[in-house]
Amino acid sequence: MVNKTQSRDARNSRDSGAVKKQQSVQQTSSHRYDVVVIGSGHNGLVTASYLARAGLDVLVVEKNDYIGGAAVSRNLYKDFTYSNCSYVCSLLRPEIMRDLELPHHGLQVIPYEGGAVLMPGKQFLGSSNNHEIQRREFAKFSIRDSEAYDRLSRDVIRQCKFIKPLLLRTPPDPTSFKPRDLTELLYLGQKLHRLGEKQMHETMRFWTMSVSDFLDEYFESDLIKAMYAGSAIIGTALGPKSPGTAYVMLHHFMGDVDGAVGAWGFARGGMGSVTKALASSFRAAGGEIRTGDGVAQIRIKGGKAVGVVLESGEEIKAKRVISGADVRRTFTGMCDPSDLPAEFLQQVQNYKARGSSGKLNIALDGLPEFSALPKGSPFVTGDMHIRDSMESLERAYDDWKNGSWSEAPYVDMLIPSQIDPTMTADGKHYMTVFVQYCPYKLAAGEWTDARRKAFGDTVINAIAKHSPNFKSLILHAEVRTPWDIEREVGLTEGNIFQGELTMDQLLFNRPIPGYAQYHTPIDNLYLCGSTTHPGGGVMGAPGANAARTVLGDIGKLSRSLGQPSYRSLFYKSHGRTAKPIKAMSVAGSAP
Amino acid sequence: MMMRLSPKPALVKPAPDHFKQLLQESPFAKRAMPLCRTRDVMNWNGFALVNVYSTVEEEYFAIRNRSSVFDLAPMMKYRISGKDAEAYCNRLVTRDVRKQKPGRVSYVVWCDEAGMVIDDGTLFRFSATEFRLCSQERQIDWLLDCALGYDVTISDVSESIMALTLQGPTSASLLKLCGFKGVENIKPFEIKDWKIGKLAVTVSRTGFTADLGYELWVDAGDAIALWDLLFEHGQGRGLVPIGNEALNMARIEAGLLLPGIDFISSMANVRMGFCRSPYELGLDFTVDLAKPHFNGRAALVAEKQNETSRSKLIGLEIESNKPVNDSIVYSDESCQTEIGFVTSAIWSPTCKRNIAIAQINAPYYGTLTQFWVELYLKRELTWQRRVLEAWPVERPFFAHPRRRQTPAGDY
């Protein structure tokens, strides 16, 4: 036991130069933490950091030997750094980055410029941050679409403007008459009202329709539709023709990089940089992280959470327990059913978290050439996709429904090492390959090494069709199925959003109707992961909202008010009608 | 029954390495760019366009005193033709197109269903069945949306037809020197074709300066020939190429509006309630409620009847000589009540007046005769705040009688 603690301590001090409470590691089991957070994913660490900054004694426990959850950078082959799970950054709320001083703790998000859709027959559709290049690329397929994309951007930005302020707010309970809920409902209502009648209809449609129907209202080129539809099915066990997918697309547009709405970037050093910076910020505020020992059970006494029991058998006492795990893992994996209402447990069991995505991380001996893309084009620096039509996306989904990976999968690949010099040695490259669809359970039986390899080969062959030298450059490839992601990261069925982003599981329905405010049926037990509002992506908003809820419950919220480190936890309105200062100079004096 | 769909416009394939060029070159660039001594270039619709050739002063005074030529290559031009072209245009714009005779141009505005302005432009009528719509912003998406059920063909001819705008008091005499016989006889907003040697030129007496001026239209392949023709004869009439900045001064004096500057197109508008109706832009003269249904009619009828205009774009004159760009307008000298903002402003060198176009909210427009404009001035790095008195004045701020005189003289 002692050895383990010491080695953990050694690890902790190795990966952080920040202030650490040495004594807390050796404490006896009688020590009672204010808060124990389950899981060191980005949301767990966001919650933990806010609470530690409020002066609470916070412990984060992590089952893996490394921190990060699904925002990790790992060295699995030589000196190549892989962003194993999440691979691009956009949604991380700037308010949180600022509050928790993440740039100071080493986080840098660098935007990338272009991207491309690769099609059979050396055709491609490039994408670019430059409006004119983008327009000309669209015009290759349809002049009309090259202009319609401005209309699409306008409508998507309108919707984003409506939703974005809701991200860092606790959703109201529509059945409650508490002043807070009524105020929030009113806020929501006012925001809706301000949209105007026509836009209100649009919003309602947007939240419920399929991305295929939605895009039909803008574009005539099937390929351009297929390009947009990609972001509507990522991580989602739905096809482009399934209702609800339009919202998923919006979810991906909601982020920005330095004010550029919908822009995406790389975290310098891989996605692990996000959680490394969070951990550093957390430790600087006096927080403590234990790795390599996960939570076996949440201790519940008299309807109240009182601590956790680790897999090693060690018991940790805490006044409050906050789970960064998804709602299914938390309640069906870490709680005794006799402590929970049967109906609630049933709803948890029915919560949709379906694995639909796989991931390949590939070490390359050089930069692969893509036969369609002109040399020196910016299109290779960003997200390259393989797909050719809406129909093929839907067929790829059919394969998933039938219990196998897509024969012609939707592939989203990036080579961050072109922009981020820290990922690989000179001349070498790292490629991240996101694959949709890949099932958690195969119709053919369990995932085996042979099947995993076959899945990987399907993807590699799909890429090789567009890049003749790709296969010869592969030095190492890590193939991850939803089943692997569940085992390693802990996401139920490997669902990357900790639960589908469909209307029945969003806003005041996320994760379970009646429990959308980070609370659970167990007193002092909270949820803070992507399983809560506003949902998945490396956003941090659920974590910040959960922290606000906890601080409110223990009456610390008002005390933190006004401190710059908590600015984002408080709803604020941007002063539009700021009163001008009184005239200082004599009016009308000739300048 | 399936409604008739307008044929798809032909694709204009960009070069495979187009990504290397962030901005396209105008067909006039070979002549224009070497004359641009400032290297001050701007982006208009993806084209690199000269902002200032030499000095704004020289170019501005060429517009008002001699002849000036401005490259219209980036302007969007759409050919609308077919049996239903008139009916289509009449539903599209707020003016009554049926009254527009072949060979005439009119200034038009088109709106969405809510009566909010999408863009403004000029509509050329060549025959019973052929029109050309010119606008600053790209419109093909909207034009095709509106074509459903009409027997019309709409094509984007922006890159196949090129134009120069020749503006200034000596412009008619310069064209005569170039061989445009009888050009002085064409009336404002009239179109006429000429053949100068092998060069076919369509001339319209239109412009953006409220002065004498013409727009000259040629096939893209003849662009350089047109430029050379003008400059061959231009010296005696003081022909000067002008950039966007000088033209912008003249257009503010003329009281004309620009999308993206004086109003936001409802196609580009993100924040609800920020786009404007033709009435709110002071473009009442372009709206004909007496004609049958057109896009936005119901909303405009309601606005007119119920007097629900939320604001008005008006002309302001301001004391002092410092342009009040981006300023907020108040109803009181103590700046307690915000009532609008300035969209365009210059010191007018010709009128010797400090002028501005401003959006004034209801109920202040039309009733208030005294406004206050807040201006921040940087003087030797020190910011100073000024509150200046302003009063409403007629638009255009400048309109020379020679702009209408026919035959046009050698002024």
pLDDT tens readout for residues A11-28: 444 444 333 444 444 444
Q: CA-to-CA distance for A395 and A523, rounded, in angstroms? A: 46
Q: Return the SS3 of A566.
A: helix
As a whole number, mean pLDDT of residues B301-313 equals: 96
Q: How far apart are the first and last CA of chain B?
A: 60
pLDDT band at A165 (very low <50, low <70, confident <90, very high): confident
pLDDT tens readout for residues B202-232: 999 999 999 999 999 999 999 999 999 999 9
Q: Is residue B270 part of a domain?
A: no
Query: Which of A113, A127, A133 has the highest number of chain B CBs within 10 A, making it the mutation to test binding with B?
Result: A133
For residue A590, give how far its alpha carbon lies from the nearest alpha carbon of chain B (Å): 6
Contact list in A for residue B159 (CB cut-off 8 A) is none
* Triad A177, A178, A181: Cα angle to 5°: 90
Taking CB atoms and an 8 Å cut-off, how many pairs form between chains A and B? 114
CB contact under 8 A, A587 and B389: yes
Q: Is residue B259 part of a domain?
A: no
CB contact under 8 A, A588 and B273: no
Contact list in A for residue B46 (CB cut-off 8 A) is 131-132, 135-136
- Is any Cβ of chain B less than 8 angstroms from the Cβ of A585? yes
Q: Is residue B90 part of a domain?
A: no
Q: Quote the tokens at residue A194.
A: 């301000």
For residue B24, what is the domain's CATH number? 3.30.1360.120
For residue A208, give how far its alpha carbon lies from the nearest alpha carbon of chain B (Å): 21
Instruction: With a cut of 70, say whether residue B317 has pLDDT above it.
Output: yes
Domains delineated in chain A: 30-69+271-350+500-569 (3.50.50.60)
Residue B207 and residue B320 share a domain: no
As a whole number, mean pLDDT of residues B257-271 equals: 93
Q: CA-to-CA distance for B185 and B180, rounded, in angstroms? A: 11
Per the CB < 8 A criterion, the answer to whether A436 and A234 are in contact is yes
Q: CA-to-CA distance for A209 and A195, rounded, in angstroms? A: 19
Q: Quote the tokens at residue B264.
A: 């936001």
* Percent of chain B scoring above 70 in pLDDT: 100
Q: Return the SS3 of B360.
A: strand
CB contact under 8 A, A585 and B387: yes
Contact list in B for residue A577 (CB cut-off 8 A) is 338
Instruction: With a cut of 70, say whether residue A568 has pLDDT above it.
Output: no
Which pLDDT value is given to residue A68? 97
pLDDT tens readout for residues B353-406: 999 999 999 999 989 999 999 999 999 999 999 999 999 999 999 999 999 999
Q: Which residue of B has its CA nearest to A193?
A: B272
Confidence check on the interface: ipTM exceeds 0.85, yes or no: yes
As a whole number, mean pLDDT of residues A472-484 equals: 97
Q: Which residue of A has its CA nearest to B378?
A: A591
Instruction: With a cut of 80, say whether residue A112 has pLDDT above it.
Output: yes
CB contact under 8 A, B386 and A585: yes
Residue B190 and residue B67 share a domain: yes
Instruction: With a cut of 60, say whether residue B1 has pLDDT above it.
Output: no
Q: Return the SS3 of A222.
A: helix
Q: Quote the tokens at residue A1.
A: 């036991």
Which pLDDT value is given to residue A259? 63
Q: CA-to-CA distance for B341 and B327, rounded, in angstroms? A: 6
Instruction: Tell me the H-state helices in A418-481.
Output: 449-464, 470-473
According to DSSP, the β-strands at B371-379 and B382-393 are antiparallel
Q: Is residue B115 part of a domain?
A: no
Instruction: With a cut of 60, say whether residue A10 has pLDDT above it.
Output: no
Interface of B with A in 126-185 (CB under 8 A): 138-141, 144, 156
Q: CA-to-CA distance for B274 and B303, rounded, in angstroms? A: 16
Angle between helices A222-233 and A143-167 (to 10 degrees): 20
Q: Is residue B124 part of a domain?
A: no
As a whole number, mean pLDDT of residues A78-101 equals: 92
Q: Is residue B12 part of a domain?
A: no
Averaged pLDDT of chain A: 88
Residue B350 and residue B206 share a domain: no
Q: Quote the tokens at residue B249.
A: 């001064």
pLDDT tens readout for residues A506-551: 888 999 999 999 999 999 999 999 999 999 999 999 999 999 999 9
pLDDT tens readout for residues B71-101: 999 999 999 999 999 999 999 999 999 999 9
Instruction: With a cut of 80, say whether residue A570 has pLDDT above it.
Output: no
What DSSP element (H or E) covers A185? Answer: helix A179-195
- The minimal CB distance from B17 to the residues A196, A374, A587 is found for A374
pLDDT band at A399 (very low <50, low <70, confident <90, very high): very high
- The minimal CB distance from B389 to the residues A142, A147, A588 is found for A588
Contact list in B for residue A141 (CB cut-off 8 A) is 11
For residue B387, what is the domain's CATH number? 2.40.30.110
Q: Which residue of A has its CA nearest to B375?
A: A591
Domain that residue B347 falls in = 310-393
Which pLDDT value is given to residue B2? 66
Which pLDDT value is given to residue B115? 97
Which pLDDT value is given to residue A111? 87
Q: Quote the tokens at residue A6.
A: 């010491």
Contact list in A for residue B259 (CB cut-off 8 A) is none
* DSSP, residue by residue, A434-450: EEE---SSBTTBS--HH
Instruction: With a cut of 70, say whether residue A198 has pLDDT above it.
Output: yes
CB contact under 8 A, A374 and B19: yes
Instruction: With a cut of 70, say whether residue B295 has pLDDT above it.
Output: yes
Residue B320 and residue B249 share a domain: no
- At B109, phi and psi to the nearest 5? -130, 140
Q: Return the SS3 of B148.
A: coil
- Is any Cβ of chain B less than 8 angstroms from the Cβ of A574? no
Of A542, A546, A529, A534, which Cα lies nearest the Cα of A501? A534
**Highest averaged pLDDT of the listed ranges A97-101, A166-170, A195-199, A357-361:** A357-361
Of B122, B351, B174, B326, which Cα lies nearest the Cα of B249? B351
According to DSSP, the β-strands at B338-348 and B382-393 are unpaired
Q: CA-to-CA distance for A479 and A463, rounded, in angstroms? A: 14
Q: CA-to-CA distance for A364 and A425, rounded, in angstroms? A: 11
Query: Which of A140, A143, A150 has the highest number of chain B CBs within 10 A, making it the mutation to test binding with B?
Result: A143
Which pLDDT value is given to residue B409? 87
Task: Spell out the residues 6+ positions from residue A302 whose beta carbon is closer than 8 angstroms to its own.
Answer: none
Q: CA-to-CA distance for A44 and A35, rounded, in angstroms? A: 11
Instruction: With a cut of 90, say whether residue A222 has pLDDT above it.
Output: yes
- The minimal CB distance from A196 to the residues B267, B272, B328 is found for B272
Residue B50 and residue B181 share a domain: yes
Q: CA-to-CA distance for A139 and B14, rounded, in angstroms? A: 8
Of B145, B117, B115, which Cα lies nearest the Cα of B298? B115
Q: Is residue B409 part of a domain?
A: no
Which pLDDT value is given to residue B397? 96
Residue A144 CB coordination number (10 Å)? 24
Cα B206 from chain centroid (whole Å): 10
Long-range contacts of A443-450 (CB under 8 A, 24+ apart): A443/A402, A443/A403, A443/A404, A444/A403, A444/A404, A447/A481, A447/A483, A447/A484
Instruction: With a cut of 90, say whether residue A321 has pLDDT above it.
Output: yes
Q: Is residue B368 part of a domain?
A: yes
* DSSP, residue by residue, B201-245: EEEE---SSSSSEEEEEEEGGGHHHHHHHHHHHHGGGTEEE--HH
Which pLDDT value is given to residue A159? 87
Domains of chain B: total: 2
